[in-house]
Chains A and B, each alone.
Chain A
């Protein structure tokens, strides 16, 4: 019996068929994935963005804005009030202390207190220069006096003494 080799039909290799099937399958999967992304996920995300944008807009109500505005005003007022108060010297403190320093036998006049430079200038008059010496001793012992300057000291023939004095006081005395 003769065998006809030439007429035998060649079959496609199975591996090629499988490859084509796999590629078609992958192509279908990709199309499905695209449609899911474009028509399921994307509308969901867009709706979510729209919802959140609306939520942001509705958060800023007039009542909340009014509260925040009042808080800002309070913050400014309280800060400025504190700053102004802290920087307003208490001149009455100086007058109270000055009564303790001043020598009882010396009469002071033309007193001028300037709070910013912490300067007090005045004229003094007393019956004897000993009182002035005692006043100087008192001022030397006073911590709240930064410096002082005596000028125009005049002692007449009976010992009556007149003088001008400028005190520079420490800022703590005006607090």
Chain B
């Protein structure tokens, strides 16, 4: 083999080696590093967005606390509790508020709770929680001003009371003890729970 041919062969081997190193070592490693860079970039973005979200949440949580949320939550959460004592509590609440407004309570009955999302109520889609409503029927006796006072009191409660219907009827049991301006009232109201 002539020197010229040997030289050409060596040149060829070097070229093949250069190609091999580039193609099988450098290029895959470079791609691997590019992937790692993308991963780092993604993680940095994730950290930034998490931090931004936490800052936003922290800021809103502070505003909520400053607005006295702890007390307000205690006031409104009676509408969103899920307790086995819901019925006795509401019966007691309705009896107390009726008596406070000069009404005589003769009977209170209630329906089973219904999930509002399963009803035809127009506002059902606006609710975010699994709110259920229960209808309570009250049989009351008292005068007209007591009824107005009771309705106003119910409308001012933090425990939301939706008056479905009010019936004002002549006294069914007339007695000498009853004042002449007394009526029977049937009050149907909805109360809410989870």
List residues of chain A with CB under 8 Å of any chain B CB: 12, 16, 19-20, 23-24, 26-27, 30-31, 33-34, 37-38, 41-42, 45-46, 48-49, 52-53, 55-56, 59-60, 64, 67-68, 70-71, 73-81, 83-92, 95-96, 109-116
* Residue interface mask B39-50, A partner, CB < 8 A = 1: 110011011001
Q: Which residue of B lies closest to A96 (CB)?
A: B148
| Contact between chains at A48 and B40 (CB < 8 Å) | yes
CB distance from A124 to the nearest CB of B (A): 13
Can you list 13 contacts pairing A with B, beta carbon distance less than 8 Å? A24-B14, A27-B14, A30-B21, A42-B32, A42-B36, A45-B37, A52-B40, A68-B57, A71-B60, A73-B73, A81-B80, A91-B155, A113-B165
Q: Which residue of A lies closest to B32 (CB)?
A: A42
Tally of A-B Cβ pairs under 8 angstroms: 167
Contact among A30, A56, A80 for B131, CB-based, below 8 A: A80
- A113 vs B39: C-alpha distance when bound (angstroms): 66
**Which among B7, B29, B32 has the greatest number of chain A C-beta atoms within 10 A?**
B29
Q: Which residue of B lies closest to A16 (CB)?
A: B7
| Contact between chains at A87 and B162 (CB < 8 Å) | yes
- A75 vs B61: C-alpha distance when bound (angstroms): 11
Q: Judge whether B178 is part of the interface by a CB distance below 8 angstroms.
A: no
Chain B residue contacts of A20, Cβ below 8 A: 7, 10-11, 14
Chain A residue contacts of B14, Cβ below 8 A: 20, 23-24, 27
For B, the interface residue count at a CB cutoff of 8 angstroms equals 63
Chain A residue contacts of B17, Cβ below 8 A: 27
Q: Judge whether B174 is part of the interface by a CB distance below 8 angstroms.
A: no
- A71 vs B170: C-alpha distance when bound (angstroms): 51
CB distance from B138 to the nearest CB of A (A): 13
| Contact between chains at A116 and B164 (CB < 8 Å) | yes
Known: A52-B40, A90-B155. A84 touches B51 (CB 8 A): no
Contact among B29, B162, B164 for A42, CB-based, below 8 A: B29
Chain B residue contacts of A64, Cβ below 8 A: 54, 57-58
Q: Judge whether B82 is part of the interface by a CB distance below 8 angstroms.
A: no
| Contact between chains at B50 and A59 (CB < 8 Å) | yes
Contact among B47, B64, B155, B166 for A59, CB-based, below 8 A: B47
- A168 vs B25: C-alpha distance when bound (angstroms): 85
Contact among A16, A77, A116 for B76, CB-based, below 8 A: A77
| Contact between chains at A92 and B152 (CB < 8 Å) | yes
Chain B residue contacts of A46, Cβ below 8 A: 36
Q: Judge whether B90 is part of the interface by a CB distance below 8 angstroms.
A: no
Contact among B33, B73, B152, B166 for A45, CB-based, below 8 A: B33
Q: Judge whether B79 is part of the interface by a CB distance below 8 angstroms.
A: yes
Q: Judge whether B136 is part of the interface by a CB distance below 8 angstroms.
A: no
Q: Judge whether B161 is part of the interface by a CB distance below 8 angstroms.
A: yes
Contact among B32, B54, B79 for A84, CB-based, below 8 A: B79
